[in-house]
Amino acid sequence: MTYIPLGERPEWADVTPIPQADAPNALVPIMYTQEYKDASDYFRAVVASGEKSPRVLDLTRTLLSLNAAHYTVWQYRFQTVLALGDDAVAAELKFLDEYAVQNLKSYQVWHHRLSLISHASPADPRPEIEFVHATFIPEPKNYHTWTYIHWLYSHFSDLGRISPQQWDDELDWCEGLIAADGRNNSAWGWRWFLRVARPGAVGLENDGREEIEYALTEIHRIPHNASAWNYLRGIIRAVNAPRDTILPALTPYLAGAAVPVPAAKLDLGYPTREGPLSVDTPLPVPLALEFLADTLAEGGQLADASAVFGQLASEVDRMRAAYWEHRRSQCVNA
């Protein structure tokens, strides 16, 4: 479709565009398209006059179709929507239902939606939660969407609009994401918020037993999954759990360790692996060796811990040899 300049449209006849104030003979001028330059000139004019009208929404939509990351345009569009009233807010959210899916990677889109939802303050946030869940289907690791859902639950929880059942349902949804992709680190971070970090979280009760068991089960499913190992280490640190009570459950991943795996002093019955490891699983698992070394160091067996860190540096994880040598030196110089 042929572009018609705004100056040739009767609805814009009363506006004098304001061109961009480039320096004379600019060394490297930006090569804007004619449509973008034209819309920007008229945008500067309506901002200068303070106009907030339906045609301003049309103008900002044109600009955003050409540059979805334009902070200033989004902010003025938000102010215009509010000035036009509640019907405009509802229409804008409906517009974003489609636009956000088309621009999932745009921080500005999600911030705009956050501002609108915060202003509208629905009594029941469930429709918004369902919308956000749907946007994770094409892109389950999108940082901006995860930031938004953190805000959504925190904000409406503070307002008393998240029920205990909704928290349970959200945990079920999160576990579904992890089941689909155990290496989705964002989903693991969301589980941490739901079970540990949020006000009222109960994941650390009973010395974090349930969370330790969950992490171990996921390690048994994907032994080289750094997300599950990091979650396990986080829970152990949060509850100050002794590693030697957990180590027996990780023995299958320590085949070929530089030192014998110490016998359990206390068997707490943590879930162990069922069935043999796949022949495609390289052993020993570096993350398991690190856990072993930390367990040995925690028990004062520094020479053995040093040997395991040395094995990581020289054989198992040479990519991070400098780090493992640093850990080994800490044992030697302790």
Q: Is the pLDDT of residue 31 over 90?
A: no
Say whether 94 is catalytic. Answer: no
Q: Which residue has the tokens 């995860």?
A: 146
Report the pLDDT value the prediction gives residue 38, as an integer from 0 to 100: 97
Contact between 305 and 262 (Cβ < 8 Å)? no
**Per-residue pLDDT tens over the stretch 302-323:** 999 999 999 999 999 999 999 9
Report the pLDDT value the prediction gives residue 28, as an integer from 0 to 100: 85
Report the pLDDT value the prediction gives residue 334, as an integer from 0 to 100: 64
- Of 37, 52, 94, 105, which residue is the catalytic one? 105
How far is it, in rounded angstroms, from Cα 228 to Cα 207? 18
How far is it, in rounded angstroms, from Cα 185 to Cα 132? 18
Contact between 67 and 36 (Cβ < 8 Å)? yes
How far is it, in rounded angstroms, from Cα 146 to Cα 189? 9
- For the stretch 211-214, contacts whose Cβ atoms lie closer than 8 Å and that sit 24 or more positions apart, written own/partner, are 211/235, 212/236, 212/241, 212/246, 212/270, 213/270, 213/271
How far is it, in rounded angstroms, from Cα 114 to Cα 116? 5
**Per-residue pLDDT tens over the stretch 248-305:** 999 999 999 999 999 887 778 999 999 999 989 999 999 999 999 999 999 999 999 9
Q: Would the pTM count as exceeding 0.85?
A: yes
Report the pLDDT value the prediction gives residue 333, as an integer from 0 to 100: 79
Domains of the chain plus CATH, in order, are 1-160 (1.25.40.120), 163-241 (no CATH), 248-334 (no CATH)
Q: Strand, coil or helix: what is 174? A: helix
Query: How high does pLDDT run on average in the chain?
Result: 96
Neighbours of 217 (CB within 10 A): 14
